[in-house]
Amino acid sequence: MIKLVALVRKKRGMTAGAFRAYWLETHAPLAAAIPGMRGYRINIAGDPGDMAPAGYDGSAEIWFDDRASMEAGLGSPEGDIAGDDTVHFTESIEFLVTEEHVILPKVAAS
């Protein structure tokens, strides 16, 4: 399993509410249509309270079986449509290709 993590900055001048609405209601269905995806999660930044604000307004996590599946999905017509749509709500996106290590909840040994 491979996970693509996208670190997202909202488009300049866009309100937090408009960013949230566009990402969840317009972009997410386009991205969810990418073939080969095994999971898709959007994380939108909230009020950091006493902590310093992050340099990002949100992140997305997208799971694929392997790198070949990821490259095929992202290079598909659906991947192109979702990629082209990001200009409507993002200023920038940085990508991390990761291998997940689950710490909690602990998985029982078999």
pLDDT in tens, 7-61: 999 999 999 999 999 999 999 999 999 999 999 999 999 999 999 989 999 999 9
Name the residue ranges covered by the structural domains of the chain: 2-98
- Answer whether 0.85 is exceeded by the pTM: yes
**What is the pLDDT confidence band of residue 108, given thresholds at 50, 70 and 90?**
confident
How far apart, in whole angstroms, are the C-alpha atoms of residue 4 and residue 67? 10
Looking at residue 17, what is its pLDDT?
97
Which amino acid is located at 72 in the chain? A
How far apart, in whole angstroms, are the C-alpha atoms of residue 55 and residue 86? Answer: 18
Q: What is the dihedral of CA 80, 32, 59, 15, to 10 degrees?
A: 80
At 55-73, the pLDDT tens digits run 999 999 999 999 999 999 9
Residue 100 has pLDDT above 90, yes or no: no
User: Residues near 93 by Cβ (< 8 Å), separated by ≥ 6?
Assistant: 6, 7, 8, 9, 86
Instruction: Give the pLDDT score at 93.
Output: 98
Annotation: CATH topology of 2-98 = Alpha-Beta Plaits (3.30.70)
pLDDT at 107: 74
